[in-house]
Amino acid sequence: MAFTGIFLIIFLIVHASANACIFVPDHGATFNKVAHFLGTNWIMHLLEVGLFVGFILHIVQGITITIQNKKKRPVKYSMVRRPDTHWYSSAMGLLGIIILIFLIIHLSQFWVHTRFAGVFGGVGDITYDNGMYVNKPVDNLFGQMELVFSHAWVVIVYLIALLALGFHLAHGFQSAFRTLGMTSSRYIPVIRGIGYAYSIIIPLAFACMPVLMYFGVVHS
């Protein structure tokens, strides 16, 4: 779980950084070109397969661990958690389910439209007359984002999921590094600090995207 978790932690940094190109004030040109580069590059396609395998393994491992823990202790402890632990440390399964539901909605809104355009309808193309990919049609993912984030309920669903992601990461980040052996009292405060910073910065960066698009601050 620790390995797949760290792999997904790295994916989120790459994903948030690529998406942050929507904040370049050029009406989505930089973002669409970066997304096209990432979406048509064979290395990225290979990594994408690894990513989906990573997600599935992480989910299966999470479910297995939850079931095993329940089986080991069919009668619940009278004190549910230690006073020095946070509520979200014992709610990782629930938080994971919220993230999984989000992921299904999220992939159906973006990924299936670029990868299975013939079946689900594409996101539409756009052509630029300067910079990278001159006069070469690229997927208008920026336009698709504007469309998706024009609905208030979608923005709310994203914000709930990103809050869940933040708490999931707040425990998951440090837990992963501890599992991999970083248990010395010298490392723990550092890992904890980085973990908390990561679990605030990444979800917050993602949250800015639907919110700023919904309110028209970021637009084409």
Chain positions contacting ligand HEM, by CB under 6 A: 15, 19, 35, 39, 48, 51, 99, 103, 106-107, 110-111, 114, 141, 145, 158, 165, 206, 209-210
Q: Which is nearer to ligand HEM, 35 or 126 (CB)?
A: 35
d(CA 217, CA 215): 6
The smaller minimum CB distance to ligand HEM, of residues 51 and 163, is found at: 51
Give me the numbers of helices (H) and strands (E) for the chain, helices first please.
9, 2
Residue with Cβ nearer ligand HEM (61 or 114)? 114
Q: Among 11, 114, 106, which Cα is nearest to 54's? A: 11
CA distances from 35 to 5, 22, 97, 149, 175 (A): 24, 10, 28, 18, 32
Residue 67 or 105: which CB sits closer to ligand HEM? 105
Residue 161 structure tokens = 């999921």
Longest Cα separation, the chain: 67
| DSSP structure string for 127-193 | -BSSSTTBT--EE-HHHHHHHHTTSHHHHHHHHHHHHHHHHHHHHHHHHHHHHTT--STTHHHHHHH
In the complex with ligand HEM, which residue's Cβ is closer, 63 or 190? 63
Tokens standing for 44? 């990225």
